Homo-oligomer: A and B are copies of this chain.
Amino acid sequence: MEAFNDFRKQSLLLIEKEMENFIKEYTTNDQLKEAMLYSIHAGGKRFRPLLVLAAIRSFNKNVQTHDYQVAAALEMIHTYSLIHDDLPAMDDDDLRRGKPTNHKVFGEAHAILAGDGLLTAAFQLVALSQIESDQKILLIQLLSKAAGTQGMVAGQAGDLQGEKQSLSLAELADVHEKKTGALIEFALLAGGILAEQPEEIVDLLGVFAKHLGLAFQIKDDLLDATSSEEELGKQVGRDEVLNKSTYPSLLGLEGAKKALEEQLTLGSDTLATIKQTSSEFHLELLQELLEQLRLG
């Protein structure tokens, strides 16, 4: 198993290349293309596509072109959601990853269309990929479920409603399970499916994803509450301004930190269970990705 940093570096390049090539080849309108590429090139941790690839590599499989395509499609969906989320009618953010948000550069109309285009292109990319038909359909079913009205879009709607009323911890967990958890879950399920793992293992990857997703969101809330704009590359303290229910607002800073630790431990335990179940499995890469969420 290669070192995590090598895996990460090489993967980032190939994921970005895959997105860029697809958008360049399959977008006929130049301004639309430019707006889509702007947000694709704005960087970011590429957490979700890295998870897809890390899951595949964890079973000692070589990552193939179609695996990068699925990973790229997932990142395109994540990117579209950020563009729409930043719009004035939504979170009204001016800054994302240290750069002006899409609508600040291209205007709201083109930002809406760039998001619509990335969402549609993600399904097109998976549909055109060289994956066996039944597996491809399963992936499209899971991706549309994770991204749509049972997943991320439903979570965004719940999030909006959470700005107007305070949520209970259970309601907050449900919003986040949909808003960010669903795509993270897809990443791990897709990785398991692409690595041709049996259902039992894919299910365990799904359990790992739940803990990882929750940890991811608690960390995100903690960073918004405690970081500077310079550190984070986007406006901070927005949750408080918007009066959003967050883990720190419901549990306090210390409580939220403890909840994060708990989820990291549970995630780690699940990786150990997968290792016990499958002799092929190496947990190092996914463990490293989990560790990224530990507070520095």
Contact = CB atoms under 8 A, between A and B. Distances in A.
Interface stretch (A131-139, A207-215, A287-295): A131-139
Interface residues of A, number: 50
Interface in A161-206: 161, 178
A106 to B, nearest CB: 10
B128 A112 contact: no
B124 A141 contact: yes
A153 B90 CA distance: 21
Q: Looking at chain A's contact residues, is the secondary structure mostly helix, strand, loop, or mixed?
A: helix
Contacts of A107: 89
A141 B128 contact: yes
Interchain residue pairs A-B with the least CB separation, the first 5: A120-B148, A89-B108, A124-B144, A27-B149, A32-B157
Given A28-B178, A110-B157, 16 more contacts: A27-B154, A28-B149, A87-B112, A90-B109, A109-B160, A116-B119, A117-B149, A120-B144, A120-B148, A120-B149, A123-B123, A124-B144, A124-B148, A127-B144, A136-B137, A137-B137
